[in-house]
Structure 1
């Protein structure tokens, strides 16, 4: 009777051919991919202006405005102090308030509309969808004069609520179209099963449908946040001091005399930071939402 140790059995099962196969696989994985290098180069090219903006925000003005770019310098917070001295808090709070409230209103109005146009379609659904998108076909510059007259007559010039209404109407068609595509990926049989179990329509939507499309809601909300946060045309024409937003505040650093690159980069860094943080917090749901229904 022969006995075999674990080392013997391992040596028996692991043949030289299997070792060669593993080595080939490792060499295959280590194979140089030129397209991967191109992707890295393109990504770094897109990221470099943002990196340079943040770097310049910590420079002094004499180091920021030089013919030869300076990569090594003594960091300073003078640019950020100057931004706070010029009242960045007002623009930052106005942008946060207008963006958050308008996004909440867009979701409150857009999610039921998208649900009705997908899982519970109404008559002439295509006409309703075309009406939503037709509101985006008119150039903003063509509508600014009547909008200015209306806002002036109702006493909402330099008022943050005028921007909230406009941002909501601006983002609502996009939100409806995005959310409708997410709702269309949900099987209608789920609602039928929930109704057979005795659940009401509102309960079925709240406990069955909305958890499934929550990544799509997060992606839609982030898109609306970006569009509302970066909007400039309405804000610069309908606000002055009390309701100015961050994009309008940034324009104040563009002066006819003197160059203030460090201060401008510090203000731009502060303006970009909330959106970057929002995208970082919602990155998992954002990736799931943007790829929702891509793989069957």
Structure 2
């Protein structure tokens, strides 16, 4: 298989990547055949899987606009994925040109494309780190040059926590992130939930079991636990389309089709 020009040297083109599968579901072109095949298998289990990706992206836009309106000027996007239209820096800097953004991903394709996209932007960078190691992320000198950790930061973890199994202690990871942040900071989460499509998610979990990205969809109660020690912004933890919809028509009669529960919490 020939490596495309956009793919970094040494990348394994036979192993799917969660970031590239997500890129495919959003209609992107930076993915390999193995990513597309995995996505198609997922769509067999949950035909609305692409809707989940779209609902997650729309929630990102609304949450970032909400936080810029609240005065937040620093954003840390963990598990940021491959750039597509309407990235955090585009939304934030449209509302607040002085907003600063750090993207973090473990996938070299995602980081390479983010860096290319940000060449002319002095207020946004991308670094390659593992979100399961928050201390290493916050100690990264590139992050330290751009973000002031004495001032409020909005940490975004969208469509990534379901890739962290319970045995890896995702609640502990969130707590370690929370403890670093100053008061006035926010945590923005979107996590896959099995509550609306239990059989489809059972198949997805089984399909992912022996891969580098085993999936752990969670209940509303489990997702709410991520916000311990924070004050939830209304309306709390809800299906993605229900969080501050821009228009009543944006919410259909089955918001659970998004398979994504979301929430925003503030450290007081």
Give 1 or 2 for the bigger CA radius of gyration: 1
Choose between structure 1 and 2: higher strand proportion: 2
TM-score bracket relative to the smaller structure: under 0.3
Q: Which protein, 1 or 2, shows the higher relative CO under an 8 Å CA cutoff with sep ≥ 6?
A: 1
TM-score of the aligned structures, taking structure 1 as reference length: 0.23
Q: Identify, as 1 or 2, the structure richer in helix.
A: 1
